[in-house]
Homo-oligomer: A and B are copies of this chain.
């Protein structure tokens, strides 16, 4: 690939990006697309000013969204998207900073050394091969390799310094977030799993007995987890209907008052369903809360945050596989279906999904190696001779080498996130955020292995699978392959990187769905069903992959850096815009992503250093090799220090902080109020309000009275004892 092909590719992609960004700036002004591009705002504001008036301004592209995204402060991002959104922003800021330093260093120090590395007659710059700008052009035993070594030192040191300060500030942010946040039910609640079965006693009773025995002073109440199944699904549907009814604009066409939530709203689509829904409600709930439906898991609520954390840190029972405790996720974050999985299955499930992921990774090699063939035109025309004439055309040549391989790769890669998400679900995490984090890690490993390693190792020899046999040789193989694979990764940044950002901002899938809904189904209601939270599990691996490419190529082939820097700058703007406008925040991840980011960056750095060591070895420069080894050791020591200094904060809650929060609440007298709220926080019945539990209890009481022939005239709200059927009131009576 020569500079001409590179410029063609860059031009195509720049044009495409400008076009798509302009299109976006027009589309976002169309009122019909509000739900696609301003979903979060709609969900939070709840007022829809349908500005259907026509104006010429609506069809002129404008950069106002860029300005707005730029002007958003970090505090606003924190308020809107939570700590995870800030962490994601910090990844981009870190990348911009470190690659700015790398770009300046490498363009002025490394690039000239590479270009004049060999005594040769340089062609016209347009026809110059990309290889001339890589370290491959430096002759063996050159004295100028110290420049590369120095650049490596500058990049590594600046990356470590920046990483340290980022880790420090994110740790501080995490602590501040915990301290300043309003009382969070997840701080008071633990999840107990694998409650031992005892004959003739319900799990609920076992939990009560155990915690009143051993945690008498701090135990408040508990909430048993019930069987999830068809009944549960029915409930979810009912909730959706109810939510839709509540959210619908008032005063349109009220037919009759809603029997569930009391609102007087319309039933357009579902006019004949409310009775059946009500029936299923009362029926299902009465069935739901029986002994047979109890599962061996429960949420146990404590009086103080400290007591809850203590209960999670201790080994409760002489059998470590029963009474297993962990901190509960936030109520909205709970993945109820996984709570029913017996705890004893979990370790088997984890091993099984690990194996499945590895198999998936290996099977994925086939399309990737095929794609790789397309970048080497000579090999392709050797394999398929009939294509030779076709391939000789200049434009075809440029498009094929510069564009097509990446597109095919990207299309294949689109199947990965759903598969990994499925694996992570099967694994059995108890929270949405945990599942996303697990999927994030899987996708990260997958991406690094399949996009980075396999492209490099198999790039040299078409359809070769033998890179798995000798793990120790990988650095040397990479050192040989990296300078030659520079062209592929430059185009990968241009296509996959830039295009993915345009795609992200355009939201083509939502746009299409919205269009179909409005113009084919004639449904003009904007529902908030389709709103999703930020897909960290796909975006974090993507950004980290570009970081890895950036680090490994910075010293070897510095021409990649400007393109990468543009990618990160665009990403910074685009993702800010998306966080502010599009994605909703259902739960708080607590910045747990940063350790993943930190470790991956350290991995990238060490890999870069080891590849450099290999290249310096190939180029026969003992001095440069000798200076690289202490750098690797120092980087690893730095990582170990950070692991000791910051990582525990992301694993455990700090006793001191929790004790002071508890004290503050006790002194201000808010504790009773908080306890009241806690009782209904983890209600499995999907309407999340205490009222709903109350209404279910009423239905239950009606049912009992119906069966007993209304023996007692007591009103359901007057009962002081907990209900024997639906458990309602139990927590309060214990708590008091």
Contacts and interface: CB of A to CB of B under 8 A. Distances in A.
Contact of A315 (B318, B469, B645, B655): B655
B470 A320 contact: no
Interface residues of chain A: helix, strand, loop or mixed (majority):
helix
A320 B214 CA distance: 29
A314 B645 contact: no
A320 B650 CA distance: 11
A655 B314 contact: yes
Contacts of A348: 637
Nearest to A468: B472
A309 interface: yes
Interface string A318-351: 1111000000000000000000000000011001
Given A310-B310, A321-B644, A469-B472, A316 B637 contact: no
Copies assembled: 2
Interface in A417-471: 469-471
A317 interface: yes
Interface string A161-204: 00000000001000100000000000000000000000000000
Given A347-B641, A351-B637, A640-B351, A315 B648 contact: yes
Contacts of A471: 471-472
Interface string A615-655: 00000000000000000000001001100111111001111
Contacts of A316: 654-656
Which among A314, A317, A472 has the greatest number of chain B C-beta atoms within 10 A? A314
A313 interface: yes
Contacts of A640: 347, 351
Nearest to A652: B315
A659 interface: yes
A175 B656 contact: no
Contact of A214 (B214, B319, B659): B659
B351 A318 contact: no
Which among A321, A654, A655, A657 has the greatest number of chain B C-beta atoms within 10 A? A655
Interface in A237-284: none
A314 B310 contact: yes
Contacts of A470: 470, 472
Given A351-B640, A640-B351, A318 B654 contact: yes
B320 A646 contact: yes
Interface string A354-366: 0000000000000
A320 B659 contact: no
Interface in A657-679: 657, 659
A314 B652 contact: yes
Interface residues of A, number: 37
A649 B320 contact: yes
A319 B214 CA distance: 31
A315 to B, nearest CB: 4
A309 B314 contact: yes
A28 B646 CA distance: 59
A313 to B, nearest CB: 4
A50 to B, nearest CB: 49
A338 B318 CA distance: 32
Given A470-B470, A649-B315, A320 B655 contact: no
Contacts of A655: 214, 314-317
Contacts of A472: 469-472
A489 to B, nearest CB: 28
Nearest to A640: B347
A261 to B, nearest CB: 43
A318 B660 CA distance: 12
Contact of A644 (B314, B318, B320, B641): B320
Interface in A287-317: 309-310, 313-317
A351 B316 CA distance: 33
Nearest to A316: B655
A645 to B, nearest CB: 6
Interface in A52-90: none
Nearest to A217: B217
Interface in A17-48: none
B320 A648 contact: yes
Contacts of A171: 318
A218 to B, nearest CB: 12
Which among A471, A644, A657 has the greatest number of chain B C-beta atoms within 10 A? A644
B320 A656 contact: no
A171 B472 CA distance: 40
Contacts of A351: 637, 640
B315 A314 contact: no
10 contacts: A175-B318, A214-B655, A314-B652, A315-B648, A316-B656, A318-B654, A321-B645, A351-B637, A470-B470, A472-B472
Given A214-B656, A317-B655, 4 more contacts: A315-B653, A316-B655, A321-B645, A351-B637
Interface of A: 171, 175, 214, 309-310, 313-321, 347-348, 351, 469-472, 637, 640-641, 644-649, 652-657, 659
The list of the 7 closest CB pairs from A to B, nearest first, reads A320-B648, A313-B313, A314-B655, A315-B652, A315-B654, A310-B310, A318-B654
